Amino acid sequence: MSVAITQASDRISRTSSSPDLDAGFTFTGWAYLISDLNANQTVIRWYSGGSTILTFATDVDGTTPNLFTANGSVTAVDNFVVGQWLFVAVTQTGTSTILYTSTSVGGTLHSSSGSNGLTGTADGFTLGGRSTSDASEWGNFREAQFRQWSAVLTSIEIAAERDSSTPVRTSNLWADYPLSTASDLTDHSGNGRNLTAGSTGPTTAGDPPNVNNQTIIVPLLSVGSTVFSPGVNPGPVGVQVPLISTSSTVFGPGATQTQQILVPLLTTSSSVFSPGVISLLQILTLSLLTAPSNIFAPSVSGGEAPKAMASIADTARVNMLANRSLTEPRRETNADLMALVLNDGAQVLVPKTNASVGTHLLRYMMSLRN
């Protein structure tokens, strides 16, 4: 969730302390423009008494984000759009200022930089307005996940903070304000630097994009694996399933070599995992399990089976990762790794022909079996 500033008296402040902005400082957060007031709208402002030290606010058009100091300003690449979230971040050290923006989780992180030295030392800051004593230039925003560090984060670290609903970097974390409800203005970093609401106070509003942003990465299963029981909380979910060994076909749930995942609807309380794996080397079959069963005990029949196909696939994966100087965990499938190997004209792991990537992978696995 987030807090919504809908009038000047809703602004939130800390008046007793502020990070040292000159010595190395980072701020990150999400802001959602509720309406365009066609005027300067403040997201957050650090000040000393009545003087501005650093202000992140829109320009007079109400939508163009700017970072203002007494010595200049930096304009963001991305603009605010009414009814949409925008991730914002600021780093400051000495005269070096960088303003970051991003419109989506996992998207491009844009940056603008300037040489704006600060004048004075901040002794407080206000969210959604200029200060407790100045009701002008208030910002009609939803605000969430405001974090401040007494250190300069890299662009990679800032992207990680954008994508996570909780702080990723905890070292030098000066304060963490999730702002998940209007009644919780506390500092969740453990440093006790809590905020205070204005005379009316904000209201609770909707989530920023990174809440319940989940990705399930299904690793390559090896001999002895018995786990197939994911639990997913509500929210947008991306499932990434690795390549099931070439020539294998798995049913119920099923995957084809083109990586189409066909998950049938299971009845209430069902816990059925009943694959039949067909390969050039062996046939593994498993009878249908009853609903409460939790057993994984396949039988092997037919053909020569000196080495299980899953074990061969694991060996092939280890060799291809070593050839590319990569280490687990990786999202690439075995076919993806084979493509990377084949793209290197100097590699000697696999003889390259005009055959498909899948055929190269199968031939390589057959060579490991032999």
Three-class secondary structure assignment of the chain: CEEECCCHHHCEEECCCCCCHHHCEEEEEEEEECCCCCCCCEEEEEEECCEEEEEEEECCCCCCEEEEECCEEEECCCCCCCCCEEEEEEEEECCEEEEEEECCCCCCCEEEEEECCCCCCCCEEEECCCECCECCCCCCEEEEEEEEECCCCCHHHHHHHHHCCCCCCCCCEEEEECCCCCCCCCCCCCCCCCCEECCCCCEEECCCCCCCCEEEECCCCCCCCCCCCCCCCCCCEEEECCCCCCCCCECCCEECCCCCEECCCCCCCCCCCCCCEECCCCEEECCCCCCCCCCCCCEEECCCCCCCHHHHHHHHHHHHHHHCCCCCCCCCCHHHHHHHHHCCCCCCCCCCCCCCHHHHHHHHHHHHHC
283-328: pLDDT as tens digits: 434 445 444 544 444 554 444 444 455 688 899 999 999 999 999 8
Residue listed under structure tokens 């990586």 = 259
Q: What is the average per-residue pLDDT within 359-364?
A: 92
Higher pLDDT, 222 or 3: 3
CA–CA separation, 179 and 103 (whole Å): 20
Q: What is the dihedral of CA 220, 224, 229, 233, to 10 degrees?
A: -50
Q: What is the pLDDT of residue 263?
A: 40
Q: What is the average per-residue pLDDT within 264-291?
A: 42
* Contacts by residues 284-290 (CB-CB < 8 Å, ≥ 24 positions apart): none
Q: What is the pLDDT of residue 71?
A: 83
Output the pTM of the full model.
0.59
Both tokens of residue 66? Answer: 């700017």
Average pLDDT over all residues of the chain: 80
Q: What is the pLDDT of residue 269?
A: 43
Both tokens of residue 161? Answer: 């903070």
Residue 86 amino acid letter: L
pLDDT band for position 40 (cuts 50, 70, 90): very high
53-101: pLDDT as tens digits: 999 999 999 999 999 887 889 999 999 999 999 999 999 988 889 999 9
pLDDT exceeds 80 at position 225: no
Contacts of residue 370, defined as CB under 8 A and 6 or more positions apart, other chains included, come to none
Q: What is the average per-residue pLDDT within 127-137?
A: 93
Q: Answer whether 67's CB lies under 8 Å from 99's CB.
A: yes
Instruction: Please count the other Cβ atoms lying within 10 Å of the Cβ belonging to residue 128.
Output: 28
User: Domains (ranges, CATH) in the chain?
Assistant: 2-205 (2.60.120.200), 309-369 (no CATH)
CA–CA separation, 306 and 3 (whole Å): 62
Q: What is the pLDDT of residue 213?
A: 58
> Angle at CA 340, nearest 5°, toward 338 and 344?
110
Q: What is the pLDDT of residue 292?
A: 53
CA–CA separation, 18 and 45 (whole Å): 11
Higher pLDDT, 71 or 170: 170
Q: What is the pLDDT of residue 72?
A: 84
Q: What is the pLDDT of residue 224?
A: 52
Q: What percent of the chain has pLDDT over 70?
A: 73
pLDDT exceeds 80 at position 228: no
pLDDT exceeds 60 at position 49: yes
Q: What is the pLDDT of residue 119?
A: 79
Q: Answer whether 3's CB lies under 8 Å from 179's CB.
A: yes
Report residue 349 CA to chain centroid gap: 35
Q: What is the pLDDT of residue 125?
A: 96
pLDDT band for position 259 (cuts 50, 70, 90): very low
CA–CA separation, 280 and 282 (whole Å): 6
Q: What is the average per-residue pLDDT within 17-33?
A: 93
Residue 292 amino acid letter: P
Q: What percent of the chain has pLDDT over 90?
A: 57
CA–CA separation, 77 and 168 (whole Å): 25
Q: What is the pLDDT of residue 23?
A: 87
